[in-house]
Structure formats: structure tokens, C-alpha cells
Structure 1
């Protein structure tokens, strides 16, 4: 069972110090997603790691509503805190709103700080759909697109590269489809 947290534009639904946490507590899951999309144009669903699942699943977060908000597929990010994932999805949304066209399946330099490389890889929802149940529910059975944002380890390697830090492979699995040859 995946445990979901909702985080959107600085609203942490589980932090009792957050003044909106009480409002969030009174909403059901669909209302929370709807409120976040009305507030920011998109929502972020974060899922806690589940060591009891077979195989174990890492923590991850994904957006809902990005295509309607900024014309880019929803984004899944593995291995980061909800705050960090929200920051990256916000960065992507802001870049798209600013007119940046982000290609899929191509290593990018310049989107992340310090000229770090990243890649957006399309996710086959026919295989990985169970990871994105809130998005599936939100879209009501209609097709939607999801991409994995892959970011480098501290040595600059992306998760599909031979030098990628082994300890990070569980935290950031590659579920996006890589271009032929990678």
C-alpha cells in the first residue's frame, strides 16, 4: 500500500505548523488534488517508500495536471523529499510557462543549477500505471502522459550510466523509456 502525501507550492499537508494543514485534513483526497490544481494549476502527489512491498518501492512524487497547466506531461521524480520534488516540478512548470520547450529522451544541461545534466524519459503507463493511481483517478480513465525526471548523483552520473552511485539505484530506479543505445 502506497502512503500518499500531498504537497503543493509550499503547502505541506502533514505539517501541523502549516496553517493550511487543518484545511487539508478536512478534505478527502480528490478535494485536495482539485484544490491544489485550482491554486497552482497542477498538484504534486508524493508517495512514501514502502519496504514491505515486494519488490520494495522507493519514495517518489509526481505531478497531476501539468499538461493542462503548461503543455508538458506530468512529471515523476524518484528519491527526493516532497519539498525538493515540488521545487523541481515548479522549475519545469515555470520553464514551460516561460516558453522553454523541453525535449523528451535527450540529456539536458542548463535546466538544473550548476549545469547539472538531467533527462525527461517517457513512462509506459501500461507497465507503470499502478505507481500513479491518483493521476489515473484524476483523469477519469482518459489517457495522460507521464515522464520521469532523472537527475544526477553527486558525481554527475545519471541513473542509467555505469558510474552512477550504487547506493542510489534503489532510490532512483529508471522506469522511463531511454532512447535506443542508452
Structure 2
């Protein structure tokens, strides 16, 4: 698909649903990730970045995030139960400068307009989060997890 068709599809999704989800698949030596574009503009909450999950789950989590928090305050650094029925999550703030190699669609969409990103932090398959020594999963953390409120 050429760039023009690609961005036309993205903008159509944003017009129709209020946001688009972009996901990149895992490759050898590369952690998969996904992110939203359009949420900040249309729902007044930060865009969402997710590292280490597959595209379908990224899309589901971004959809649940929009439905739960649109036009509301999003809790930062707090354990969130019930975003999905799979596992609890945290949201951490990100500096857009840390995302320039990841969120190219958002960079093009927002151009010089302000926007913000959060990263969704999830546990490994045994329920451990990245701040716990037992944690064992391929999730690239792009923000500061030292402020997470722990149980």
C-alpha cells in the first residue's frame, strides 16, 4: 500500500471512529508495539502506546481505554483493575521525544499541534509487573515506572 492510500485509510478511521490504531508485529530482535492516533484531539485524553502485545490485543485495550476514559481524567501511576478482563494495568506518562521512532502516524497527523501520550504497562504471564524482580516479559518501557503506586 502506498503512503497516500495508507494515510487516507488512517484519516478515514479517525473520522469514523475518533481514532486509529497502528500496530507493528514482532520480528526477531524487535518488540511489537501499537499506538493510537486521534484520541487526544477527539476525546481529550492522551494517546496510548503499548509495547509487547499483539495487534488484536493492542486494539482491544485502546478501545477499552477510550470507552472508559474519554472526556475524563485518566489515573496515572495507579493500578487499574477492570480495563479488560485479562489483567490489571498502569498508565505512565511519556515524553513525545521518546516516541519519535514509534509513533510516525501521530507525528504526521498532529504536525505542530500539541498532543500527549501514555504508555500502558501490563504484567507478565505470572502477574508480575516490570518493577518486580520476578518480572519476565518483553515489554519495552519508555517512561518512568519508579512512580507507580504498588500494592
Could you state the TM-score of these two structures normalised by the residue count of structure 1?
Answer: 0.71
C-alpha displacement of 1:134: 1.1
C-alpha displacement of 1:82: 1.2
Aligned counterpart for 2:125 among listed residues 141, 154, 166: 154
Of 103-112 and 56-65, the range deviating more from structure 2: 103-112
Aligned counterpart for 1:102 among listed residues 63, 71, 74: 74
Aligned counterpart for 1:130 among listed residues 101, 104, 113: 101
Structural RMSD (CA):
2.4
Larger CA Rg, structure 1 vs 2: 1
Q: Which runs of 4+ in 1 moved over 6 A?
A: none
Matches of 2:78 and 2:99 in 1, distance apart?
21
Could you state the TM-score of these two structures normalised by the residue count of structure 2?
Answer: 0.85
Count of paired positions: 149
C-alpha displacement of 1:125: 1.6
Render the CA deviation track for 1:115-145: whole Å, top value 9, x for unaligned.
x321111111223322111110110132311
Aligned counterpart for 1:34 among listed residues 11, 14, 17: 11
Q: Compared with structure 1, are the counterparts of its residues 77 and 25 closer, same or farther at alpha carbon in structure 2 (3 Å cutoff)?
A: same
Aligned counterpart for 1:67 among listed residues 40, 46, 54: 40
Of 126-135 and 105-114, the range deviating more from structure 2: 105-114
Q: 1:96·1:102 contact (CA, 8 Å) conserved in 2?
A: yes
| Match status 1:91 vs 2:64 | yes
C-alpha displacement of 1:28: 1.7
Q: Compared with structure 1, are the counterparts of its residues 90 and 34 closer, same or farther at alpha carbon in structure 2 (3 Å cutoff)?
A: same
C-alpha displacement of 1:177: 2.3
